[in-house]
Amino acid sequence: MQSIIDTLTKTVQATRAEDLRAAFSADPQRFSRFNAALDDLLMDYSKCAVNDEVLDLLEELVATAGVADKRDQMFSGAPINFTEGRAVLHTALRNRSNRPVMVDGRDVMADVNAVLAAMGAFAEGIRSGETKGATGKAITDVVNIGIGGSDLGPVMATLALAPFHDGPRLHFVSNIDGAHIADTLKTLSAETTLFIVASKTFTTIETMTNAQTARAFVADALGEAAVGHHFCAVSTALDKVAAFGIDPTRVFGFWDWVGGRYSIWSAIGLPLMIAIGSDHFGEFLDGAHAMDEHFRTAPFRDNLPMLLGALGVYHRKVLNYATRAILPYDQRLSRFPAYLQQLDMESNGKSVTVDGKPVAGASGPVVWGEPGTNGQHAFYQLIHQGTSVIPAEFMIAANGFEPDLRHQHELLIANCLAQSEALMKGRTLAEAKSQLTAKGIAGEEADFLAPHRVFSGNRPSITFVYDQLTPSTLGRLIALYEHRVFVEGVIFRINSFDQWGVELGKELATGLLPVVQGKVAATGHDSSTAGLVAALSERKMG
Ligand SMILES: O=P(O)(O)OC[C@H]1O[C@](O)(CO)[C@@H](O)[C@@H]1O
């Protein structure tokens, strides 16, 4: 594979692929040659440094890495998460074809469909008011207590699908910081609140601690006997849920072959289902399934996840771009960058290959972003004129949900398109000078000011366009990014499905708690850690 990457590096130079301005001037058909679509979801990658030679080499890279074979293994339930001995089957959760999916010789589809039906019945009971709290009042507020994959997906999707939200109000508590749950509970009445304790392992300290605080909130207000009416749980660890005391009829299971950051399609999606209803949740699954089928069957040049993954590797390993910016021009996708941060960085932030050897060169990039147009007034300065090149990934709907505010949506579209055009085109010194001249600034002053107004241009971006942010579109978008991470992980030769990198901090926090509490001396800790413990203890009030 390294030889293909080396050839790519030479090809970029030899074909001047990075000169986007020249490429667009030379080829009026460039847009139509470098885009791909699944139904209304269009991906324009013509503003990346690609040409036919580069794309052919990327296709060869994907083939040589064995991406298609690994993909088929994933869909068929092979234990590709080999450090944990698990299958990787989030795709089974949205397998609307019900094609059998075998794990350890057993078709899992019956279990998947049974949990989905149970979630649907429970969600509709809460939404209709039929399932009530302990005092007979309907549930008006639902609090999801979870963190990481048990939080980011439901939060992001609930915000994204606000126009479809016709169920109870939703709240999300994740942080161990007591401020999070305290600020949330302040606004709620125990009588009309349902808590969902969402944790794959049911051991995560943040979730378990917040769940105990919520339990005390209900017990203090309504008595111990009321607790069961106000709690439900989502987990793979049914024994641990039982020990917590949640009624088994209110427990929604999933399986160890669903990774936390891939779990929005499982019972972890329960808060979303309560918000938008089971029919819309079904459309969300349908959208993801359509992307799965596309990923499984479309040829490379038409295959959105294959292309997006190949371009991601190209940006990271050939062009050496260290980060990528996710820039949705959609306020309702405000948490999409944070969601993708976990999906991408927890999956591909690895430095050991499948053979236990150091990764050659780079693996996953830093992923970050904010919605437009807000980001324009914050960090876009650096994207346009900074010394690092940051590939940008824009997304924009043709339609909002506010027909009376169409003029605002048009402004949003114009801003989105203007950014990618500006990044690509830039502004030369001569152009900067002539603009100054037009304003009556010439001579030395123009010579002095012009360099500050130069934009290098040739900065890459990908733009996604779709009809409207519906449940089906959101499902397709998330599944697209999941598979992109998969493609990149196979080419990086890493296991994208474990997350050992989060363990060390957890272990040290457990050891530090008695030190922070003053029960144990800070001996054995480095002087910085010990000094910080002392500084915080000196400042402790009350
Ligand atoms: O659902 P759980 O088991 O509480 O885990 C929450 C999150 O914690 C992590 O394990 C990382 O600490 C994530 O992978 C996961 O999504």
The three-class DSSP label of residue 409 is helix
Mean pLDDT (whole number) for 3-21 = 96
Predicted pLDDT of residue 452: 98
Q: CA of 128: how far to CAs of 29, 131, 226, 251, in Å?
A: 53, 8, 20, 20
Confidence class of residue 244 from pLDDT cuts 50, 70 and 90?
confident
Measured distance CA(214)–CA(191) in Å, rounded = 13
Whether the pLDDT of residue 421 is over 90: the answer is yes
Beta bridge pairs of residue 141:
169, 193
Predicted pLDDT of residue 361: 93
> Alpha carbon 414 to chain centroid distance?
25
The three-class DSSP label of residue 386 is coil
506 belongs to the catalytic site: yes
Question: Which residues lie below 8 Å from residue 333, measured CB to CB, with a gap of 6+?
Answer: 156, 159, 160, 371, 395, 469
Q: CA of 236: how far to CAs of 173, 244, 257, 274, 410, in Å?
A: 20, 14, 10, 20, 45
One-letter amino acid identity for 91? T
Measured distance CA(341)–CA(347) in Å, rounded = 9
Q: Is 388 in contact with 349 (CB distance < 8 Å)?
A: no
Q: How far is the CA of 147 from the centre of ligand 1 (A)?
A: 6
The three-class DSSP label of residue 171 is strand
pLDDT tens, position by position, 191-235: 999 999 999 999 999 999 999 999 999 999 999 999 999 999 999
Q: Residue by residue, what is the 3-state secondary structure of 96-162?
A: CCCCCCEECCEECHHHHHHHHHHHHHHHHHHHHCCCECCCCCECCEEEEECCHHHCHHHHHHHHHCH
Q: Is any atom of ligand 1 closer than 6 Å to the C-beta of 428?
A: no
More confident site: 9 or 542: 9
Catalytic residue among 191, 283, 346, 482: 346
How does DSSP classify residue 454? Answer: -
Q: Is any atom of ligand 1 closer than 6 Å to the C-beta of 502?
A: yes
Q: How far is the CA of 146 from the centre of ligand 1 (A)?
A: 8
Kindly state the tokens that stand for 29: 């058909």
Confidence class of residue 245 from pLDDT cuts 50, 70 and 90?
confident
Mean pLDDT (whole number) for 467-484 = 98
Q: Residue by residue, what is the 3-state secondary structure of 229-269?
A: HHEEEEECCHHHHHHHCCCHHHEEECCCCCCHHHCCCCHHH
Measured distance CA(288)–CA(309) in Å, rounded = 17
Q: How far is the CA of 98 from the centre of ligand 1 (A)?
A: 28
Whether the pLDDT of residue 453 is over 90: the answer is yes
Q: Is any atom of ligand 1 closer than 6 Å to the C-beta of 207?
A: yes
**How many residues comprise the chain?**
542
DSSP labels, 473-495: HHHHHHHHHHHHHHHHHHHHTS-
Measured distance CA(334)–CA(415) in Å, rounded = 17
Minimal-distance CA residue to ligand 1 atom 8:
148
Mean of all residue pLDDT scores within the chain:
97
Predicted pLDDT of residue 542: 78
Predicted pLDDT of residue 527: 96
Whether the pLDDT of residue 486 is over 90: the answer is yes
Whether the pLDDT of residue 145 is over 90: the answer is yes
Minimal-distance CA residue to ligand 1 atom 12:
502
Mean pLDDT (whole number) for 289-295 = 98
Mean pLDDT (whole number) for 87-103 = 97
Predicted pLDDT of residue 293: 98
Mutation probe of ligand 1 site: the residue of 81, 147, 236 with most atoms within 8 A of C-beta: 147
Whether the pLDDT of residue 12 is over 90: the answer is yes
Confidence class of residue 535 from pLDDT cuts 50, 70 and 90?
very high
Q: Is any atom of ligand 1 closer than 6 Å to the C-beta of 46?
A: no
User: What percent of the chain has a predicted confidence (pLDDT) above 70?
Assistant: 100
Kindly state the tokens that stand for 114: 């049974």
Q: CA 89, 293, 499: angle at the middle one, nearest 5?
A: 30
Predicted pLDDT of residue 147: 98
Predicted pLDDT of residue 37: 98
How does DSSP classify residue 186? Answer: T
DSSP labels, 197-236: EE-SSS--HHHHHHHHHHHHHHHHHH-GGGGGGGEEEEES
Angle of helix 278-297 versus helix 109-128 axis, rounded to 10: 150
Angle of helix 471-492 versus helix 67-76 axis, rounded to 10: 120
Q: How far is the CA of 199 from the centre of ligand 1 (A)?
A: 7
Mutation probe of ligand 1 site: the residue of 86, 173, 201 with most atoms within 8 A of C-beta: 201
Tell the residue number behind the tokens 């005390």, with chain if given.
216
346 belongs to the catalytic site: yes
Minimal-distance CA residue to ligand 1 atom 13:
148
Q: Is any atom of ligand 1 closer than 6 Å to the C-beta of 353?
A: no
Predicted pLDDT of residue 1: 85
Q: Which atom from ligand 1 is nearest to the alpha carbon of 499?
A: 14
pLDDT tens, position by position, 361-387: 999 999 999 999 999 999 999 999 999
Confidence class of residue 428 from pLDDT cuts 50, 70 and 90?
very high
Q: What is the ipTM of this complex?
A: 0.98
User: Residue 460: in which H helix or E strand, if any?
Assistant: none
Would the pTM of this model clear 0.95, i.e. be above it? yes
Minimal-distance CA residue to ligand 1 atom 7:
148
Catalytic residue among 10, 137, 357, 506: 506
Measured distance CA(102)–CA(116) in Å, rounded = 18
Q: Is any atom of ligand 1 closer than 6 Å to the C-beta of 263?
A: no
Q: CA of 48: how far to CAs of 222, 319, 389, in Å?
A: 59, 11, 12
